[in-house]
Structure 1
Amino acid sequence: MTAPSAPRPPHPAIPALYPCTITHVRRAPQRYALRHRTYLWLVDLDHLPVLPRPLRPLARFSARDHFTGRAPSIKAALGSFLDEHGIDLHGGRVLMLAHARILGHVFNPLTLYWCYDLDGGLRCVVAEVHNTYGERHAYLLHTDTAGTATAAKDFYVSPFHPVDGHYDMRLPPPGERLRLSIQLQRPGSPPFTAAVHGTRHEATALALLRLALRHPWSTLRASAAIRFHGIRLFLRGLPVQPRPGRRTPERAS
């Protein structure tokens, strides 16, 4: 039995840019918090932005960066995933929140897809997770009217968390404000919390250029920061959890 569809959201103008702050807070076995400033795109998968030629290196959206990496388009890749779960949007709209490929590099720890029926009702949300080992995994979520959902964790992300527990997610569709949160709940441990807060900006060439100058190589810096903080935690004595067998992109599900 699925949760009732969320009401139709007041979609902001698409595409949109969200300058945002990403925070991670762990409380055990050591308290540790980090903040990272970046920007994300919200795009319609049927109408991906086409930038002026000089700006195209600052934002590219490619199917090779999502799901199996072999589909002809991102929406086709998402459609194949939904087909496996018996979901047909009948051509409905899909909004994707993600980093674009910037100067040839992209790293999306989390890509979100809000999937709508033709009547505009939210059918489901797909959370696609990438880890720093080049592996991908997607969670199919049926959110309630507040945008919340729960999913069992079954993908290795951080080397300091085993593959157990569950996620409590709050993923309302972005509007003028972007407010997302994910908590990893594990038996006997306080939650690990990740959150994203941002404000919508119109996706003009000038806005993109300003953000690119303010956050140069933003996706490369994000992946480097994850590794840097991982090294710091390791040097503080946080135990590394064994990594399960490799999950190739072709097996992402």
Structure 2
Amino acid sequence: MVRPRLLLTQVRHTRTAPVRDDFTYAGCAWLVEPSTSHEMPWWQRPFVTFGVADHLGDPRACWHDNVVRFAETQGLDLDGCRVLALTGARSLGHAFDPLTIYWCWDRDDALVAVIAEVRNTYGERHAYLVRPDSRGRASAEKALYVSPFNDVSGHYAMSVPPPTAAGVDIRITLHRDGHPPFVTSWRGRPARPRDAPRVLLRLPLAPHVVTLRIRLRGVRLWLRRVPVQPRPAHHRQEAV
């Protein structure tokens, strides 16, 4: 069993039009191997659990198997491959992960794919399977309505290099014709013993705080008269 690894994170969103809105908030995330058991120390169990139902696939199946099954629908065989996820945890009965990243290595330890699982506040989910280049860069056409202030047009430019001993550095930029880029970055470093006060502040209500921040930010943009885009019907993907 490989125990999940806690990261202290900084998430930044940068919007430059029709109004400028640039903000950063601190949080926490976990590097988890979906194929292993995730039994946490007793004091963390009320605040840290990883539920299959909180992610893509069949909630009655194994999390790793669900990732493999989704990859099959995209024409990729991950059977016997190693998968590492960057995600949040369920805390006090609540889970909300706007983005979960899965790095997928083959049996020769070569990175063959990255899956970006995106979830919105309307209960919808979409997964993008990409094949990054040697610098961890890839792109995908946008398919899920995420923010009420952005429609479903455009494409994502992704920088999703695998985690290192220093942590993670994710950057996703939405490009749309006639609009400036909308940029999201997600950076994190491993938590250390001296970070215990920060961990105690961030961990217990982490998913609750993420949900609240998203809604409050939406209200703020609405009050600033940013136009709301209609939400189209989203067709659920196979195995998602």
The answer to whether the Cα contact below 8 Å between 1:138 and 1:252 also exists between their aligned partners in 2 is: no
SS at match of 1:51: coil
- Equivalent position of 1:178 in the other structure: 168
Looking at structure 2, the residues matched to 222 and 190 of structure 1 have their Cα atoms a distance apart, in angstroms, of 25
Give 1:209 deviation, angstroms. Answer: 8.1
Q: Look up the equivalent residue of 1:191 and give its one-letter code.
A: P
Decide whether aligned partners of structure 1 residues 50 and 169 sit closer, same or farther in structure 2, where only a CA change above 3 A counts. Answer: same
For residues 220 and 109 of structure 2, the distance between their equivalents in structure 1, rounded to whole angstroms, comes to 46
Residues 57 and 109 (structure 1), Cα distance of their counterparts in 2 relative to 1, 3 Å cut? same
Match of 2:182 in 1: 192
Distance 1:184 1:210 in 2: 31
Q: CA RMSD in A?
A: 2.1
Contact kept, 8 Å, 1:90 with 1:118, in 2: the verdict is no
Contact 2:119 2:126 (C-alpha < 8 Å) held by counterparts: yes
What is the aligned-residue identity percentage?
41
Change (3 A) 1:42 1:208: farther
Aligned to 1:85: 74
Aligned residue type for 2:225:
G
The structural deviation recorded for 1:68 is 3.5
Report the more deviating stretch, 180-189 or 42-51: 42-51
Q: 1:66 to 1:93 in 2, by over 3 A?
A: same
Distance 1:208 1:82 in 2: 37
2:220 corresponds to: 232
2:231 aligned residue: 243
Give the Å deviation of 1:70.
Answer: 2.8
Write out per-residue CA displacement over residues 127-177 of structure 1, whole angstroms, 9 at most, x where no aligned residue: 000000011000011000111101111111000001101000100011113
Letter in 2 for 1:201: A
Change beyond 3 A, Cα 1:73–1:126: same
Q: Does the Cα contact within 8 Å between 1:45 and 1:93 map onto a contact in 2?
A: no
Equivalent-residue separation in structure 2 for 1:119 and 1:209 (angstroms): 40
What 5-or-longer segments of structure 1 have no aligned partner? 1-12
Answer yes or no: is the 8 Å Cα contact 1:168–1:183 preserved in 2: yes
Paired with 2:160 and 2:99, the residues of 1 have a C-alpha distance of: 12
* Structure 2, gaps ≥5 residues long: none
Give the 3 Å change call, closer, same or farther, for CA 251–244 of structure 1 in structure 2.
farther
Per the normalisation by structure 1, the TM-score is 0.87
Deviation at 1:212, TM superposition (A): 3.6
Gap change, CA 1:185 and 1:171, over 3 Å in 2: same
CA contact 1:116–1:122 (8 Å) conserved in 2: yes
Matched, 1:145 2:134: yes
C-alpha separation between the residues in 2 aligned to 1:53 and 1:183? 39
Question: TM-score w.r.t. structure 2 length?
Answer: 0.92
Secondary structure of the corresponding residue to residue 234 of structure 1: helix
In 2, the alpha carbon distance for the partners of 1:209 and 1:42 equals: 20
In the TM superposition, what is the alpha-carbon distance from 1:14 to its structure 2 partner? 5.7
Give the Å deviation of 1:71. 4.2
1:67 to 50, 56, 60: 56
Show the counterpart of 2:26. 37
SS of the aligned residue for 1:58 comes to coil
Q: Is the 8 A contact 1:45 1:96 kept in 2?
A: yes
Cα distance in 2 for partners of 1:168, 1:217 equals 31
Pick which of 96-105 and 84-93 moved more: 84-93
How far did residue 57 of structure 1 move? 1.4
* Number of equivalences: 238
